[in-house]
Amino acid sequence: MRPMDSPTSISATFDRRAWPMDGRLDYWQAPDRWPLRRYRLGDGTRGRMLLLNGRGDMIEKYLEVIQHWAGRGWAVTAFDWRGQGGSGRLTEDSMTGHIEDFGQWIADLDAFAAEWRAEGNGPTAMVAHSMGGHLMLRALAEGMAAPDAAVAVAPMLGVHSAPLPRWLAVGIAELMCRLGFAGRQAWTQQEESERQKQMRRKRLTHDPARYADELWWRDHSREIALGPPSWNWVRQALASTRALEENDALDRLAVPLLILAARDDALVSTSVIRRIAARIPHAELHVYGSEAAHEILRELDPVRLDALARIDAFLDENAR
């Protein structure tokens, strides 16, 4: 697939630190009554899109791309996963990203997507980043009804555990959980450390302005801020990614799938992404070089606009 001409950047006119005036922010209740914060924007003349964010993310980080797709006629729906963003917390420490079982997120996604799918007709698409990409593919492999087309951006199909070998990372996570630290942060993150902020920024994006937007939202809406994951999240992530790779249902997925990845991604394993992409019958893979870090949709414009062009061309071809 050759991407179309790059879309025009809206960054000069779009305020990334404000909610668009015509969007709807509310809460959706999961079957167990847990409230998930939801945002909707767009008239849906092109179709309906479900946007799934990553670990530690919040809707605010994706307002720019939500606006882009709404401007192309998609009715875009996004939500914060249980336990992060504006969807509450699962431990007493509000800065710890925790989950007891990734299966809970799969159940939330199954229920949310079923209701989203029933809201209207026309083409449907799912676009998922990082952990959201893992959960989307796992849910599809486990039987969730597929959209007309799906996009996974830097999907967490394998956790980048270097310099530790994977077997050692698994052993440490298992041990820490057995010792009673399952709900504790797996590493420390000093909020005021400029050095840590810069190290984190380099792992996520080459764009200091978009990274500063995330910090602005975190500082101005402390209830959505989140820090490192818990030891149980680490254990679950390692187990769930391995189980997904071993699931032969991936070999039979029928949904048209575009995967965008970064060769030098420091958070997820690009080698695992390559292996899994090769197995999925209708998957297309594009891997960026050193110009891209993990957050491809929040990169500098040469990468970000190229990614949007590839996604738009793919959806125009497959979600009609």
pLDDT value for 1: 41
**Cα 291 from Cα 40, distance rounded (Å):** 31
Position 13 scores a pLDDT of 84
Distance separating alpha carbons of residues 314 and 163, to the nearest angstrom: 36
Does 10 score more than 80 pLDDT? Answer: no
320: pLDDT strictly greater than 80: yes
Average pLDDT for 254-279 = 98
pLDDT tens-digit map of 116-149: 999 998 999 999 999 999 999 999 999 999 999 9
Give the residue-averaged pLDDT of 308-315: 98
pLDDT of 18 > 90? The answer is: yes
pLDDT for residue 5 is more than 70: no
Given a cut of 80, is residue 190 above it in pLDDT? no
Calculate mean pLDDT across residues 79-108: 98
- Check residue 3 and give its pLDDT: 46
Q: What does CATH list as the number for 24-318?
A: 3.40.50.1820
Residue at 27: amino acid letter: Y
Closest CA relative to residue 25, chosen from 73, 65, 64, 76: 76
Report the percentage of the chain scoring pLDDT > 90: 91
* Residue ranges of domains in the chain: 24-318
In this structure, of 50-54, 76-80, 86-90, 194-198, the range with the lowest mean pLDDT score is 194-198
Per-chain mean pLDDT for the chain: 95
Confidence check: pLDDT of 9 > 60: no
The residue ranking higher by pLDDT, 3 or 75, is 75
CA dihedral sign of residues 226, 179, 187, 239: negative
* pLDDT at residue 315 tops 50: yes
Model confidence at 12, pLDDT cuts 50, 70, 90, reads low
pLDDT for the residue numbered 11: 55
Query: Which H, E and C letters describe the chain, residue by residue?
Result: CCCCCCCCCCCCCCCCCCCCCCCEEEEEECCCCCEEEEEEECCCCCEEEEEECCCCCCHHHHHHHHHHHHHCCEEEEEECCCCCCCCCCCCCCCCCECCCCHHHHHHHHHHHHHHHHCCCCCCEEEEEECHHHHHHHHHHHCCCCCCCEEEEECCCCCECCCCCCHHHHHHHHHHHHHHHHCCCECCCCCCCCHHHHHHHHHHHCCCHHHHHHHHHHHHHCHHHCCCCEEHHHHHHHHHHHHHHHCCHHHHHCCCCEEEEEECCCCCECHHHHHHHHHHCCCEEEEEECCCCCCCHHHCCHHHHHHHHHHHHHHHHHHCC
pLDDT reading at 6 higher than 90: no
- Express each pLDDT in 133-189 by its tens digit: 999 999 999 999 999 999 999 999 999 988 899 999 999 999 999 999 999 999 987
pTM of the model: 0.95
C-alpha span between 196 and 180 (Å, rounded): 27
